[in-house]
Amino acid sequence: MNADLNGRPDGTDTDDADRSPWDTVDHLRSWLDAGTGIRPEQDLLLRMLKLSEEVGEVAQAVIGTIGQNPRKGVTHSWQDVEAELCDVIVTAMVALRTLTPEAPQVFAGHLRRIAARVPSPERTGESDGASGS
């Protein structure tokens, strides 16, 4: 995020504490909508494709963290990987919000369905989610 979006170079704003993640996603979507100048149908498709770009940046950061490319060596840190993963999440949230105004409810419902497939600690006898061997 830049100063044009939130008002401060560090990406924070005076009302960040009051803004939910979905409020921020709505703000980002509105900002992007105003700045693209392309038809909404194309914008939606491009936002979906943007996810592939962001996932590629995660892969690039992981490769750079472990120094897999001998020509380049170590070029990234695990904090870079964290930032790239956050970019994937935000990009997906913006794409979902572009697809439907009910994005928070769609996401919450989907997350509940995923969580329901995972045994709770009470059912597995585990207290911290880690397997005890």
Three-class SS of 101-119: CCHHHHHHHHHHHHHHCCC
Which pLDDT value is given to residue 126? 58
Residue 43 above 80 pLDDT?
A: yes
Cβ atoms of 35 and 94 within 8 Å: the answer is no
Residue 17 vs residue 102, higher pLDDT? 102
What is the C-alpha to C-alpha distance for residues 59 and 71, in angstroms, rounded to an integer? Answer: 17
User: Rounded distance, CA 69 to CA 34, Å?
Assistant: 40
For position 37, what pLDDT does the model report? Answer: 86
Percent with pLDDT over 70 in the chain:
79
pLDDT of residue 124: 63
pLDDT of the residue at 19:
86
| Span 9-37, average pLDDT | 81
**What's the pTM value of the predicted model, to 2 decimals?**
0.77
